Amino acid sequence: MQPAEVYDGDTPAYRRSKIREHLPNVIFTNPDMLHLAVNPFHPKWEEFFKKLKYVVVDEIHTYRGVFGSNVAHVLRRLRRICGYWGANPQFIACSATIANPKELAEELTGLQFREVTENGAPSAGRHFMFINPFDSPYTEAVHLFIECLRAGLKTIVFTKARKITELIYKWTIDRAPEFTTKISPYRAGFLPKERREIEQRLFSGELLGVVSTSALELGVDIGGLDACILVGYPGSVSSTWQRAGRVGRQGQESLIAMIAIKDALDQYFMRHPDAFFEKSHEAGVIDPGNTNIIKKHLPCAASEIYLKADDKVYDVNKLMPVIDELVKEEMLNPGKKGDIWFSRRRMPQRDVGIRAIGKPFDIVDERGRTIGGLSGARVFREAFPGAIYLHWGRQYKISELLLEERKAICRESDVLYYTQAMSKYETEVIREIEARKLRSLEVHRGMLRMKNRVIGYDRKDIFNRARISRHDLDMPEYIFETEGLWIKIDEGTQAAIENGYYGLAGTLHAFEHVTIASMPLFALCDKGDIGGLSYAFYPRFKEPAIFIYDGYEGGIGLTKRCFDVIEEWFARALEIVRECPCESGCPSCVQDPQCGSGNQPLDKEGARFLLERCLKR
């Protein structure tokens, strides 16, 4: 019997059987395997569960948003199984520094925790460089990457987007072909076998460098690295330190270079580098109470062990409206007395993805080979007909999006542009949860119904990001309900904006952009996790309004977190606007490169005025 075994998606079927037959003392696995391969087949693990003493959940700061909310239910299902076999294991959670580790651990597991805060890890000197380039940040990153490689430094480059990962990899080997076999891209969307091979080549020293998204931010052992290049502020102090922690692990000094892009938070820290080192860490936010996520996991739980009215993990009385819906949808079957519920299906887990809300789409080339994947929400923005999809430095043009088959068909292409979707949004208030007065303005929080349609896309030059052409699309509408907040602009505030010769629509739009840009300072999220809309006249309110919402079905707690610290949040947004030296708005303050309406109209000074009015400053 081995003292420890790895049981994950790369473990061959014959090996999995051997592990179950000859149980080790320790098993290393992940939430995906618990969800699909352990929890549903717990009778095969009977002896293991009966003796289970500890469950260690590492890197809990990464379990945030939709993924974290799903993992919370995977762990609750695990607790039910432990109880079924008579075990009561102690849960131990480990985290990088975040603002709320105890709270997050408790929300993930549904258990009470005691916080232990000590750092015994050895650390050599770290040299931080903050680089605000005059030219393209991506050109600067390629240049610095090549110089590090030529100096013999094992280097990791972190980017904020899959496309940029592939482009930096491509440009690097174009300019320094001697490193073609010595560097590699690494991102989500690669097949597990591809990722594992890259990790092994890094660990062995065969690779000198890697260009990665946040996929390599986690504790994958890739050996000692010397330099870390961050292309853009990662979005949170916690993520920045996590990525910086990939280098200098063997006692040697290391270099961390953060190259700013034209983004509000990047430029804020370039102007205030001390604020980066002094800033408190953000909070990890999840929402285990998301009804859509609960509806996915209750049939899974019932298929593992039937639900009872006195269930020890799930509060069945509180969940009865959801259970009744699942019975009507023929996902659950009630017992004769109505106090137990069974799953109608044998393996509902197979239709539940835990890394997104909705089943993923496959990206398939013309030969039928799956080269990657996208979540249901992202596929409309990134895999529309005509979109350029990047994989392993190669460009693929999407020719067809098959919604029923949940796949996008692509063919290899070689072009000098990338694509960006243009979208049309509508919103509807479903119900209000709470409200507060912010000086003369009313701020409300509640549930919203969002309607999104991709109406076209831009082709943009990959070197200078200039628009080459615009193309219309007729795509289906994507509708979802989520949490959000909205700000009503009363007559007095509207008159004050117009009397100051600020454009009303541009003021509201710029306010929406800069407040969204500053949200990652308070909650662990990306700007892509949040959406916003502004109306110069919102018909239901009969006055102007601004909406900011969680970008996921059911919400994940991001707008709630910022609603709770709204004055501090708006104060940071005001600081960004006031200190940006541009005259009329730029990507460093009120422009958003992903804006679905092309950043039109925007009034930077109007946004400053409205923020000052909110805060009386």
Can you give the pLDDT at residue 452? Answer: 87
The model's pLDDT over 497-511, given as tens digits with 9 standing for 90+, comes to: 999 999 999 999 999
Can you give the pLDDT at residue 86? Answer: 97
| Confidence class for position 349, pLDDT limits 50, 70, 90 | very high
Whether 217 has a pLDDT exceeding 60, the answer reads no
Can you give the pLDDT at residue 223? Answer: 62
| Confidence class for position 583, pLDDT limits 50, 70, 90 | confident
The torsion angles phi and psi of 507, rounded to 5 degrees, stand at: -65, -50
Whether 455 has a pLDDT exceeding 80, the answer reads yes
H or E element: which one contains 325?
A: helix 320-328
Task: Label the pairing between strands 155-158 and 227-231.
Answer: parallel
The torsion angles phi and psi of 275, rounded to 5 degrees, stand at: -65, -30
* 411 contacts 365 by C-beta, under 8 angstroms: yes
* 541 contacts 444 by C-beta, under 8 angstroms: no
Q: Please compute the mean of the pLDDT values over residues 368-389 and round it to a whole number.
A: 86
Can you give the pLDDT at residue 616? Answer: 82
The model's pLDDT over 275-297, given as tens digits with 9 standing for 90+, comes to: 888 776 778 888 898 888 999 99
Can you give the pLDDT at residue 115? Answer: 92
Torsion angle, CA of 514/519/521/524, rounded to 10 degrees?
A: -150
Q: Please compute the mean of the pLDDT values over residues 555-579 and round it to a whole number.
A: 93
d(CA 571, CA 614): 9
For residues 415 and 55, the model is more confident at 55
The model's pLDDT over 56-84, given as tens digits with 9 standing for 90+, comes to: 999 898 898 888 999 999 999 999 999 99
CATH label, 422-615, candidates 3.40.50, 1.10.238, 3.30.1360, 3.90.1200:
3.30.1360
The model's pLDDT over 509-554, given as tens digits with 9 standing for 90+, comes to: 999 999 999 998 888 777 678 899 999 999 999 999 999 999 888 8
For 250-259, 394-403, 478-487, which range has the lowest pLDDT when averaged over its residues?
Answer: 250-259
d(CA 16, CA 11): 6
C-alpha to C-alpha distances, 318 to 294, 315, 322, 447, nearest whole angstrom: 12, 6, 9, 19
Can you give the pLDDT at residue 119? Answer: 66
The ranges assigned to domains in the chain are 4-118+289-350, 126-278, 361-415, 422-615
Whether 311 has a pLDDT exceeding 60, the answer reads yes
The model's pLDDT over 83-99, given as tens digits with 9 standing for 90+, comes to: 999 999 999 999 877 88
The model's pLDDT over 223-275, given as tens digits with 9 standing for 90+, comes to: 678 999 999 998 888 888 888 888 876 668 899 999 998 888 898 889 889 88
- Helices 566-579 and 264-271 cross at an angle (nearest 10°) of 70
Global pTM reads 0.74
Can you give the pLDDT at residue 282? Answer: 77
Q: Please compute the mean of the pLDDT values over residues 171-189 and round it to a whole number.
A: 90
Can you give the pLDDT at residue 242? Answer: 82
Six-digit token string for 229: 């290049």
Whether 189 has a pLDDT exceeding 90, the answer reads no
d(CA 504, CA 496): 10
For residues 495 and 439, the model is more confident at 495
Check if 4-118+289-350 and 126-278 are the same fold.
yes
Looking at the domain that runs over 4-118+289-350, which CATH code has it been given?
Answer: 3.40.50
The model's pLDDT over 98-135, given as tens digits with 9 standing for 90+, comes to: 888 999 999 999 999 999 887 666 567 889 999 999 88
d(CA 583, CA 600): 16
Can you give the pLDDT at residue 202? Answer: 85
What does the DSSP 8-state code read for residue 36? I
- Helices 491-499 and 504-518 cross at an angle (nearest 10°) of 100
Can you give the pLDDT at residue 220? Answer: 61
For residues 249 and 207, the model is more confident at 207
Six-digit token string for 17: 């059987």
Looking at the domain that runs over 126-278, which CATH code has it been given?
Answer: 3.40.50.300
Please provide the average confidence, as pLDDT, over all residues in the chain.
Answer: 89
Whether 577 has a pLDDT exceeding 90, the answer reads yes
Whether 187 has a pLDDT exceeding 80, the answer reads no
Can you give the pLDDT at residue 117? Answer: 82
d(CA 598, CA 425): 13
For 236-250, 306-320, 400-414, 496-510, which range has the lowest pLDDT when averaged over its residues?
Answer: 236-250
| Confidence class for position 575, pLDDT limits 50, 70, 90 | very high
